[in-house]
């Protein structure tokens, strides 16, 4: 099967491309980043550097393909999306033009990677929250910028399926992390940032760790292998509504740091948490309700935070020569 995968230079897509190749797909991999900036680089795929915000490029790379996995977006962790709202919104052009191209070139199936950032903020403004179920995206009040772009693009998928017959699948990812992910530079997410900070603190013999907010924020974090398995299961299903792909295991940011320290047999008592209350903090609590995921896919993410964060820490440690 000829499969177009966009955002191919990114963290999640690097893992997805390898899995699709193992399953026998002929992969056309496209990203706007130069090849040297791709997180992983497969020799088996056809690879192109191109800006898919332009309709002519979307039309070009969808010719002759049978399905599309669209994971291309300008995004990062909370620090990035809170300070780059317009840039995040511009990603709407990628999904819009790919859908138009899919219709024009008769692509049979289209996957869009959405985000837990679509969920209404009033469901996430306290610590004693209920896990987010798919219907909690409405009435709409998503993360400003990035969340609105994702929610709008979900609606585009729905209407292109209803009106034009482009079969669509939409996954709402919840905080995906793991090896080969960004861990510095401003686009990293909490698990990778925490690993980096702890490693640097040890290397510099300075055990103070800056945490954004009070550290009590609750999150669930989804390990990359669970994300990829859920993505492929959803694409192969007959389900066309948005679906959570996320871990239901909740942990506070403080406990995430403590977990990383303890599972690596580091001296917890030496570390001092310094709280930056002026930094971007995101919502107070967010976790994935997987009732619909289990019903639709007969599966849910199962990699524990202890298992996933250890593998992530070990990979980042090698990158930082620790």
Largest CA distance in the chain: 61
Catalytic, 146? Answer: yes
Indicate which residue of 61, 119, 138, 146 is catalytic.
146
Q: Report the DSSP beta bridge partners of residue 26.
A: 2
- Cα–Cα distance measured from residue 20 to residue 1, given in angstroms and rounded to the nearest whole number: 10
**HEC secondary structure over the chain:** CEEEEECCCCHHHHHHHHHHHHCCCEEEEEECCCHHHCCCCCCCCEEEECCCCCHHHHHHHHCCCCEEEECCCCCCCHHHHHHCHHHHHCCHHHHHHHHHHHHHCCCCEEEEEEEHHHCCHHHCCCCCCCCECHHHHCCCCCCCCHHHHHHHHHHHHHHHHHHHCCEEEEEEECCEECCCCCCCCCCCCHHHHHHHHHHHHHHCCCCEEEEECCCCCEEECEEHHHHHHHHHHHHCCCCCCCEEECCCCEEEHHHHHHHHHHHCCCCHHHCEEEEECCCCCCCCECCECCHHHHHHHCCCCCCCHHHHHHHHHHHHHHHCCC
Burial category of 275 from C-beta neighbours within 10 Å (exposed 0-12, middle 13-18, buried 19 and up): middle
Q: Report the DSSP beta bridge partners of residue 288.
A: 132
Task: Write out the two tokens for 123.
Answer: 């469901």
Which residues are marked as active site?
Answer: 146
């Amino acid at each position: 099967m000829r499969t177009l995968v966009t955002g191919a230079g990114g963290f999640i897509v690097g893992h997805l491309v390898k899995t699709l190749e193992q399953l026998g797909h002929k992969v056309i991999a496209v990203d706007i980043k130069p090849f040297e900036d791709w997180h992983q680089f497969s020799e088996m795929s056809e690879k192109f550097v191109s800006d898919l915000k332009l309709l002519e490029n979307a039309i070009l790379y969808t010719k002759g393909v049978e399905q599309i996995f669209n994971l291309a977006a300008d995004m990062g962790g909370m620090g990035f999306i809170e300070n780059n709202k317009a840039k995040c919104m511009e990603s709407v052009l990628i999904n819009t033009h790919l859908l138009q191209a899919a219709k024009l070139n008769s692509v049979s199936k289209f996957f869009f990677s959405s985000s837990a950032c679509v969920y209404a903020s009033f469901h996430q403004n306290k610590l004693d929250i209920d896990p987010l179920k798919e219907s909690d995206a409405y009435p709409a009040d998503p993360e400003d910028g990035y969340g609105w772009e994702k929610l709008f693009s979900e609606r585009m998928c729905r209407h292109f399926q209803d009106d034009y017959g482009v079969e669509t699948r939409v996954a709402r990812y919840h905080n995906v992390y793991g090896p080969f992910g960004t861990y510095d530079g401003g686009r990293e997410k909490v698990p990778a940032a925490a690993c980096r900070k702890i490693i640097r603190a040890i290397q510099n013999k300075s055990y103070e760790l800056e945490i954004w907010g009070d550290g009590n924020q609750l999150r669930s974090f989804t390990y990359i292998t669970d994300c990829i398995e859920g993505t492929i299961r959803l694409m192969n299903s007959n389900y066309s509504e948005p679906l959570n792909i996320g871990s239901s295991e909740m942990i506070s940011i403080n406990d995430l740091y403590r977990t990383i320290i303890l599972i690596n047999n580091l001296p917890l008592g030496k570390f001092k948490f310094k709280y930056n209350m002026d930094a971007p903090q995101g919502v107070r609590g967010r976790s994935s309700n997987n009732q619909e995921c289990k019903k639709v896919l007969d599966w849910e993410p199962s990699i524990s935070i202890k298992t996933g964060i250890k593998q992530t820490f070990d990979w980042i440690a090698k990158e930082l020569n620790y």
